[in-house]
């Protein structure tokens, strides 16, 4: 059975955050996960992409159904998600659709907010981890590098990226709509990683009056606060920071709730029930969903940004259409290369077979005409090579050009007619 490219997993189109957060694979767990996946029969290559909005495993596999089952079991076992829940939310792309999906993800055309720039960096990071784990081969190497190239073309040839709004900026945009203005508000940022930095940058661009930065690593909080003119605070002072903040954005990689409903209730009492706006950008979620039941507190998570994302997509529809054309053209290019992997062995075998016949006949002719001088022998040999090249040109070109069923038919016919398979028995 021929190998095929396959993508299996969950994403924000089909699965709620409650499922995605249970499947999120931490970067340090990637090597072990990929090693287990590639041990399954029929799985030749593997990589994984785990972000807030998706956990998708990219495979090259011979046995498609077995590969899907293998990934499903490994995801369920690794992250303690019941297999029946996972199967209800599972998506699968294969062949051309898998390639197209990967290219669209890299180009941020499949993101919650179309055009956000973080996904490409995340994909490159997970690609490097897969390379380091030894789970990537020729096909996925080529496919990922092509995806990176597609993302670059989309970014430079369309306005999708230049007009992009990241998840972080969408969160800040939502806050500005709720409060109408942010220049008299205090914002608290919990988490000082990449997502936290982006949130800080967008908060300042919207004119927030004061920025507080809290992180478990206080030195990191100091660095980010200094970069954006904010105030760093130790994690132990979270309760105090909640008294001052109007907007709280959570963007950490912590597992478990950083902010509980009880902590918010306590803060609200001391705030004299002044409204509090919370945005949880983390997966797994950092803020207890029960907070949403508290009066005067408004909690939004990544799924709640869907409305902002919808508006974003509408505003960028024309540029996205141009980007989709680029993606489709690059998918065609990659699929031609992928098909060439099947064609090349047959072409090489044909050339070697006919070259062997040519050489044998030339040698026989020279043996029966010993009077021929060296110069004439060289001319005859060159003529035979030229004749062979012309004879093979049309059939080999036709094999290269055809796709799908015709290509497979031509390949099978060529291998059978010229007995290119060593194990083929005489009939």
Query: Residue 360, SS3?
Result: helix
Instruction: Provide φ and ψ at 325, rounded to 5°.
Output: -65, -40
Per-residue CA distances from 189 to 195, 216, 221, 228, 268 (Å): 10, 12, 9, 12, 18
pLDDT at 35 (0 to 100) = 93
The residue with greater pLDDT, 423 or 142, is 142
Kindly provide the b/e burial profile for residues 243-274, where b requires at least 16 CB atoms within 10 angstroms of the residue's own CB. eebbbbbbbbeeeebbbebebbeebbeebeee
Residue 178's pLDDT band (boundaries 50, 70, 90)? confident
As a whole-number percent, the residues of the chain with pLDDT over 70 amount to: 91
User: What number is the average pLDDT over the span 286-296?
Assistant: 91
As a whole-number percent, the residues of the chain with pLDDT over 90 amount to: 45
pLDDT at 38 (0 to 100) = 93
Q: What is the CA radius of gyration of the chain?
A: 29
**Minimum mean pLDDT among 20-29, 85-94, 313-322, 324-333: which range?**
313-322
Instruction: Measure the CA–CA gap between 117 and 166, rounded to whole angstroms.
Output: 7
Q: Which residue, chain included where needed, has tokens 């956000």?
A: 116
User: What number is the average pLDDT over the span 287-299?
Assistant: 91
pLDDT of 9-49, one tens digit each?
999 988 888 888 888 898 899 999 999 999 998 899 999 99
Average pLDDT, the chain: 86
pLDDT at 426 (0 to 100) = 42
Q: Which long-range contacts (CB under 8 A, 24 or more apart) does 336-344 make?
A: 336/403, 337/142, 338/5, 338/99, 338/139, 339/403, 339/407, 340/400, 341/138, 341/139, 342/2, 342/407, 342/408, 342/411, 343/399, 343/400, 343/407, 343/411
Largest CA distance in the chain: 113
User: What number is the average pLDDT over the span 246-255?
Assistant: 87
In the DSSP assignment, the letter for residue 325 is: H
Query: Residue 214, SS3?
Result: strand
The CATH architecture to which 4-164 belongs is 2-Layer Sandwich (3.30)
**Minimum mean pLDDT among 104-108, 135-139, 190-194, 396-400: which range?**
396-400
User: What number is the average pLDDT over the span 188-197?
Assistant: 84
Residue 166 in this model has a pLDDT that exceeds 80? no
Domain residue limits, the chain: 4-164, 167-310, 338-417
Pull the structure tokens for residue 210. Answer: 């004061």
Residue 345's pLDDT band (boundaries 50, 70, 90)? confident
**Minimum mean pLDDT among 75-84, 353-362, 381-390, 399-408: which range?**
399-408
Instruction: Measure the CA–CA gap between 63 and 5, rounded to whole angstroms.
Output: 11
**Minimum mean pLDDT among 48-62, 207-221, 294-308: which range?**
294-308
Residue 425 in this model has a pLDDT that exceeds 60? no
pLDDT at 274 (0 to 100) = 83
**Sheet hosting strand 54-61, strand order edge to edge:** 43-50, 54-61, 4-11, 91-94
The residue with greater pLDDT, 106 or 202, is 106
Residue 427's pLDDT band (boundaries 50, 70, 90)? very low
Pull the structure tokens for residue 65. Answer: 């159904």
Residue 153 in this model has a pLDDT that exceeds 90? yes
Angle subtended by helix axes 317-368 and 404-417, to nearest 10: 10
pLDDT at 346 (0 to 100) = 79
**Minimum mean pLDDT among 93-107, 203-217, 318-332, 412-426: which range?**
412-426
**Minimum mean pLDDT among 43-47, 57-61, 68-72, 283-287: which range?**
283-287
Residue 404 in this model has a pLDDT that exceeds 60? no
Residue 8 in this model has a pLDDT that exceeds 70? yes
**Count of CB atoms situated within 10 Å of the CB of 388:** 16
Residue 365 burial class via C-beta count within 10 angstroms: exposed 0-12, middle 13-18, buried 19 and up: middle
Residue 363 in this model has a pLDDT that exceeds 80? yes
Residue 84 in this model has a pLDDT that exceeds 70? yes
4-164 shares its CATH topology with 167-310: no
Residue 313's pLDDT band (boundaries 50, 70, 90)? low
**Minimum mean pLDDT among 95-99, 372-376, 416-420: which range?**
416-420
**H-helix segments, 206-296:** 218-228, 238-244, 261-270
Pull the structure tokens for residue 391. Answer: 């004879």
pLDDT at 163 (0 to 100) = 53
pLDDT of 38-58, one tens digit each?
999 889 999 999 998 899 999
Catalytic residue positions, numbered: 52
CATH number, domain 167-310: 3.40.50.720
Q: Give pTM, 2 decimals.
A: 0.62
CA of residue 106 relative to chain centroid, distance: 6
pLDDT at 332 (0 to 100) = 94
Query: Residue 409, SS3?
Result: helix
């Amino acid at each position: 059975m021929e190998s095929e490219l396959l993508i299996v997993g969950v994403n924000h189109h089909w699965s709620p955050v409650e499922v995605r957060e249970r499947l999120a694979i931490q970067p340090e767990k990637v090597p072990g996960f990929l090693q287990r996946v590639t041990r399954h029969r029929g799985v030749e290559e593997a990589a994984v992409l785990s972000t807030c909005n998706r956990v998708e495993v990219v495979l090259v596999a011979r046995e498609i159904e077995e590969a899907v089952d293998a990934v499903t079991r490994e995801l369920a076992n690794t992250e303690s998600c019941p297999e029946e829940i996972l199967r209800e939310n599972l998506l699968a792309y294969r062949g051309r659709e898998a390639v197209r999906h990967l290219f669209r993800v890299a180009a941020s055309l499949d993101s919650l907010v179309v055009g956000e720039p973080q996904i490409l960096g995340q994909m490159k990071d997970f690609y490097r981890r897969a390379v380091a784990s030894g789970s990537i081969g020729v096909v996925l190497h080529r496919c990922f590098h092509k995806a990176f190239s597609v993302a670059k073309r989309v970014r430079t040839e369309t306005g999708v990226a230049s007009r992009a709004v990241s998840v972080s900026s969408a969160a800040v945009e939502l806050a500005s709509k709720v409060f109408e203005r942010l220049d008299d508000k205090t914002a608290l940022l919990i988490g000082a990683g990449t997502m936290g930095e982006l949130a800080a940058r967008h908060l300042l661009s919207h004119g927030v009056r004061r920025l507080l930065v809290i992180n478990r690593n206080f030195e990191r909080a100091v660095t980010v606060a200094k970069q954006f003119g904010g105030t760093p605070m130790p994690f132990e002072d979270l309760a105090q920071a909640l008294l001052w903040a109007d907007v709280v954005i959570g963007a950490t990689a912590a597992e478990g709730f950083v902010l509980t409903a009880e902590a918010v209730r306590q803060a609200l009492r001391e705030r004299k029930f002044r409204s509090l706006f919370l945005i949880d950008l983390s997966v797994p979620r950092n803020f207890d969903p029960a907070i949403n039941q508290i009066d005067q507190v408004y909690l939004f998570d990544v799924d709640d940004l869907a409305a902002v994302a919808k508006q974003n997509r509408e505003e960028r529809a024309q540029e996205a259409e141009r980007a989709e054309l680029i993606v489709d053209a690059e998918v065609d290019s990659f699929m031609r290369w992928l098909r060439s992997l099947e064609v090349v062995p047959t072409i090489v075998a044909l050339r070697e077979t006919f070259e062997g016949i040519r050489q044998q006949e030339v040698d026989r002719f020279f043996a029966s005409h010993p009077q021929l001088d060296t110069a004439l022998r060289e001319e005859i040999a060159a003529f035979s090579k030229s004749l062979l090249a012309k004879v093979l040109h049309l059939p080999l070109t036709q094999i290269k050009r055809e796709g799908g069923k015709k290509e497979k038919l031509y390949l099978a016919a060529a291998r059978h007619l010229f007995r290119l398979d060593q194990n083929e028995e005489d009939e």
